[in-house]
Structure 1
Amino acid sequence: MDIGVEKILRGQIIEHLKELASTSGTVTRDQLWDFDLDGTTHRLIDRSRGIRNPASMLATLSIMSAPDGPYADQDVDGSLFAYDYREGSINGDNAKLRRAYELELPIILLRKLAPSIYIPICPVYVVDDDQKKRQFLIALDADLLTIEQPSNPTPLERKYVSQITKRRLHQPEFRARVLLAYKSRCAVCRLDHGKLLEAAHIVPDSDQDGSPVVENGLSLCKIHHAAYDGALLGIDTDYRIHISPQLSKTNETPIIKYGFQQLSGAEIALPARPQDQPDTDRLQVRFERFKAAC
């Protein structure tokens, strides 16, 4: 395939994949296996390997990273993402990933969330090939292609790369895990339209205890997320909803009446698995802040 044609095709695949994942933040193995683009089926995942090297393409199309996998894929000091060579020689499956590096072609990073469920991070780029460490370095944004020494960024570059990694990798993973736990519905109003749902931190991620873990998260629609962050809505350790006096005394417009006032005292919807349910210590910390703001 001509490189110009391949770049266009990759761009189309990536945009369509991002749209497919926009509702829940995830895609299934079946969707990746039978990925339809304008009536043509593309395989975005390999049947048994963690790398997809289509015969018709010049370079790797996708790589998979699994927390329970056999490879030590990881963030490098909170910045770039390290992807280990596949087993065997430095060539084999690795050769086509090296071609993606040489040709600066965008690829897809598939982060395994659960069996047959993946978070697509794309486009990403291979920016370094360390044959001694047997690993590639993956940049999560095209802007990072300008870094001269990806394996040794300057302090300013490292700060910028870390910000991008948080936005492109950690935040999507947090949202996907939270929405999966809450079955893609708002914990407050039960709205189940994924594109209107966000993952809210109970304790903000700027705090020491604000880790991006499911028990520190709530699946909230955009309006209830804004209300929660603005201390207009609180949730106590019994999982009951409290509404700020600023809203409880407001004229009863439909959104205020049905979206807030009538929910006061109700219990939020909880994840089925106890380990995914909101951490009560964190809820207490956040609820005290809510009461102080009332």
Structure 2
Amino acid sequence: MVKFKYRARDKEGRLHTGVVDAERQEAAADQLRGMGYLPVLIEEQADSPSRGVDVLSLFKRVKPQDLILFSRQLSTLISSGVPFIKSMTIIEKQMNSSPYFQQIIGDIRRDVESGTAFSVALEKHPKIFSRLYAGMIRAAETAGILDSILNRLALLAEHEMETRSRIKAAVRYPLIVIGALCAAFAFLVSFVIPRFASLYAQSKTALPLPTRILIGINHVVQNYWFLIIPGIAFTAWILMWYLRTPGGRWRWDGIKLKLPVFGPLFQKTALSRFARVFSAMQKSGLSMLLTLDIVAETVENVVLARGVEE
């Protein structure tokens, strides 16, 4: 599909501009006439020269708070009787805190103006709007309850954000303790052991095994650090690559569920998310099979997702 910029007039002679997706220029003109517009100008939209090399766009994210605000405001405006396009325009102008999200909202508004369904426009931005979000919006469009579903999505996002903050608070202390132990061990090996290694060497007495191990670690770190650092980086890269593979993700998610302290926490969090999302989607009118298919992706654990799919 190609994007075409257009200028067209409606039956009352008012000028409209926007972008439509079509295979060719004639199809774009037919699409505009089907919308009740008389095309004045249709031309292919030129891609931005920096679009293909915009590395910074890979790191741009939309905060959960901004997505919640977007859902709340759109729900309020629609329930108040404000037309959809005007509601999107108002929210776009007010989203000054996130220029990136403001641009995305503008793209969605233009897609809807060109005749694209709201849910389809959302699916073009999967990094921001999940399959759950787009699926519930699609059901809302069919049932005519868009304001209610948007409000429900905001509640889901708020609950999800609260759950994540509780998980972070629960694991913060163990992570601090582990980090302190690692820092103390590194300090011991780097600064304390070297001071006593020479004394131990002069005494010429048999040292305990733990002491000999620490001295050996210090020797390796002092003399082969230029190999250790690249080795750690390479191992971390290999591990991250493996965890992105289906087999690696399966094994890692299985290990997470069996961890002594964190395993039950991960499991309860996933099951809570499953129940909450399943209830919301069923109330939205989606079919059971589609609900289970989407909910399986929201538990964020492939082992539990396989159980849902079965």
TM-score, normalisation: structure 1: 0.26
Which has the larger helix fraction?
Answer: 2
Which has the larger strand fraction?
Answer: 1
For the pair shown, the structure with the greater C-alpha radius of gyration is 2
TM-score, normalisation: structure 2: 0.25
